[in-house]
Amino acid sequence: MFKLLKTEGRARRGEFSCAHGGLVQTPVFMNVGTQAAIKGGVDAFDLREVRCQIELSNTYHLHLRPGDELVRQMGGLHKFMNWDGPILTDSGGFQVFSLAPLRRIKEEGVYFSSHIDGRKIFMGPEESMRIQSNLGSDVAMAFDECVENPAPYEYAKASCERTLRWLERCKREHDRLNALPGTVNPGQLLFGINQGATFEDLRVWHMDEIAKLDCDGYAIGGLAVGEPTRVMYDIIDAVEPHMPRDRPRYLMGVGTPSNIIEGVARGVDFFDCVMPSRNGRHGKLFTWEGTVNILNAKYAMDDRPISESCGCPVCRRFSRAYLRHLFKAEETLALRLAVLHNLYFYNELTARIREALDQGRFEDFRAAYSEKLAERV
């Protein structure tokens, strides 16, 4: 399932396998298609062209619309969206966290109101596992509570303890569902999630406890929610030594190109973030020379591609001037092209990180690009 090929410091080069697709090369950036599509008009065939290895969709959103039972009847999420590669589904915990005014957290689970039509919904560990089983994803994420930042210590401690109990329930239900006849994907894996807000002692305790449950992989959740970047790195530094060496490590919802490089340096294998698609839809483009704001007037007559060092479909075909025009004219094609470019860049970033690890020069790569990629062109 996961094979660690080599290390450089704490940085790890590995391979991951699951029920769909071939070997996933790690470190890997997962392309976020929350509702079984990348925002900006990008489909599964586009994902192949921009070298996506793993697609990520969301349990909460797909449960509400079109409904996980419908997806099951359609043969599962892979068939529904015509994607034959690996899919990871987030448990819905973060989305429930973001609905703070609409939710009540109890030991049994969370009661909340749909953001679409206001109807009352309950989701607990068992419900999250059943929804993800219906979707047939390759990796299901455990149902957890993502606490706000900053959080009082006592609340964060109680939340950690509850998330541990929820993981135990997730694992029992996940094992039961995988063994049922007619399960969409009986080879579905389960990743546990480390929580503990920004308290290092809670993070370490929680990681030690969930590691005992022998999940297929482990994630660090509840970061990139407003805490300073240095604090995020300190939490990873504290937790990483307690994560099983032979299981994939996933840093949830992170982040910038620099965050990914620094996460790899701290022993992380999997990343996801909406940043490439969200920033792209606002004309913010990532390149090896730094970030480009394509709306800037200086690009009005610039016939160069977004980046002359980029091999993406957009840079091979269109100019900065044309892309700026599309944004200014409010053409939807602008969003599609910008998102395609940014996704290609993020996938290429992790490909170059892997190449640097293979060649034993990751620290040189880190020194060259960790700060540079945050600069503006």
User: Which tens digits make up the pLDDT trace of 314-352?
Assistant: 999 999 999 999 999 999 999 999 999 999 999 999 999
Distances (CA, A) of 280 to 39, 61, 132, 296, 346: 10, 22, 29, 14, 12
**Report field, pTM of the whole predicted structure over 0.85:** yes
Dist. CA 143–CA 133, nearest whole Å: 13
Residues 133 and 152 in one domain: yes
Residues 267 and 292 in one domain: no
Q: Which two tokens stand for residue 278?
A: 């969200």
| pLDDT at position 269 | 99
Residues 263 and 157 in one domain: yes
Residues 86 and 235 in one domain: yes
Domain extent at residue 289: 282-374
Q: Which of 273, 307, 328 is the last residue of a domain?
A: 273
Dist. CA 359–CA 272, nearest whole Å: 25
**pLDDT above 70 as % of the chain:** 99
Q: Which of 215, 240, 273 is the last residue of a domain?
A: 273
Q: Which residues participate in catalysis according to the annotation?
A: 90, 272
Dist. CA 324–CA 326, nearest whole Å: 5
Average pLDDT estimate for 46-55: 97
Distances (CA, A) of 126 to 67, 70, 133, 141, 330: 16, 19, 10, 12, 44
Distances (CA, A) of 325 to 286, 312, 315, 344: 18, 19, 15, 22
| pLDDT at position 251 | 98
CATH number at residue 231: 3.20.20.105
Burial grade of 100 (CB within 10 A; 0-12, 13-18, 19 or more): exposed
Dist. CA 126–CA 8, nearest whole Å: 39
Residues 286 and 353 in one domain: yes
Residues 358 and 212 in one domain: no
| pLDDT at position 108 | 96
Residues 48 and 186 in one domain: yes
Dist. CA 80–CA 72, nearest whole Å: 9
Residues 261 and 302 in one domain: no
Dist. CA 208–CA 362, nearest whole Å: 29
Residues 356 and 248 in one domain: no
3-state secondary structure of 65: coil
| pLDDT at position 100 | 66
249's enclosing H/E stretch is strand 249-251
Residues 183 and 122 in one domain: yes
* AA identity, residue 56: L
Q: How high does pLDDT run on average in the chain?
A: 96
**Which pLDDT band, with edges at 50, 70 and 90, does 94 fall under?**
confident
- The total of structural domains in the chain comes to 2
**Which pLDDT band, with edges at 50, 70 and 90, does 93 fall under?**
confident
Residues 267 and 317 in one domain: no
Q: Which of 230, 248, 273 is the last residue of a domain?
A: 273
DSSP 261: H
Residues 125 and 224 in one domain: yes
Average pLDDT estimate for 220-234: 95
Average pLDDT estimate for 272-288: 98
User: Which tens digits make up the pLDDT trace of 14-33?
Assistant: 999 999 999 999 999 999 99
